Amino acid sequence: MVTEKEIQFFAEKIRRILEEIGKDMIGQKEVVEDTLIAVIAGGNVLLEGVPGVGKTRLVRSMGKALSLPFSRIQFTPDLMPADVTGTNVIEKNANGENVLKFQPGPIFASIVLADEINRATPKTQSALLEAMQEHRVTVAGQSYALEEPFFVLATQNPIEQDGTYPLPEAQLDRFLFLLEVGFPSLDELVDIVNLTQDTMEERAESVVTGEEILAMRATAKEIPVLDEVLRYAMRLVTATHPDLEGAPEVTKKYIRLGASPRAGQALISAAKVRALMEGRFNVSYEDIDTLAYPVLRHRIKPGFAAITEKKTPDMLIREIIASVKK
């Protein structure tokens, strides 16, 4: 049962985290907030943006602010699954016998930065699948649990497509949010340059522990959702399926593949955190509408018509929201 103290604790921690990250991040307020929402909701985040807009910095800064074990994996085409998950190595035991001992890979951290995730081969990318969804890793038939909280913050560059391997749907679906990190404004750019003149090191200080993150997650889960708001969220998800009865025209025309049920779960979990961050004790339609973009944009597959008419997923989501609201 959530108490008032816990609510106050939640609000205080959120304020502190944002404050700390704000020391390293200029602008990108929405991206920072959304990333925090995903972290508290227990989801993985895929950050998409051109090089140099602060994707990696954001993750590093967050890692510092959250005071959690952090590891970074730079994805390259020659990266092997074992490089991510770890592998069994031969060691001599106390008796001098050769034994296989599991050497954990960089995935064994609470915050994993999968940098340029689309540069690795699908085989390596899929090594993350189990870890992202079940928070476990299986190596040579042996399953290893990952320490909670665990989340993957991946980045990818949307423009350089040569030598990249687009993430398969199954993997994309495991990301709670796909956040687009845009280019900063002129003023933000000036501030960024000034900030990084002294040092490139992150200045954020640790303000929250792993246990506290889990407690905040538990608090957020208690936030009530009106049945009609829940139904609205689910209608949004089903409205992305062109083959379902009652699908909006925009879906039928432009979408090839709709969002999975996991999208519905993500939408509600994230909406609860957002509501609490906004100082509300209930989920609103606005929460759902706002979060529909990061939740759905990587889960819908635009069809040929959308590509030829240059309809972005965000444009399609906007139209779907409008049609469902009718």
Question: Can you give the binding site for another protein, defined by CB under 8 A?
Answer: 1-4, 7, 222-224, 226-229, 279-287
CB closer to another protein out of 211 and 278: 278
CB of 226 to another protein, least distance (A): 6
CB closer to another protein out of 172 and 234: 234
Read off the amino acid at residue 111: I
Q: Which residues pair with 113 in a beta bridge?
A: 72, 153
User: How does 46-76 read in b/e, with b if 16+ C-beta sit within 10 Å?
Assistant: bbbbeeebbbbbbbbbbbbbbbbebbbbebe
Between CA 41 and CA 248 the distance in angstroms is 30
CB of 274 to another protein, least distance (A): 11
Asked if 131 contacts 137 with a C-beta cutoff of 8 angstroms, the reply is yes
Structure tokens at 215: 């407690």
CB closer to another protein out of 68 and 229: 229
Burial of 197 (0-12, 13-18, 19+ CB in 10 A): exposed
CB closer to another protein out of 7 and 18: 7
CB of 248 to another protein, least distance (A): 22
CB of 219 to another protein, least distance (A): 9
CB of 122 to another protein, least distance (A): 42
Between CA 229 and CA 324 the distance in angstroms is 12
CB closer to another protein out of 191 and 286: 286
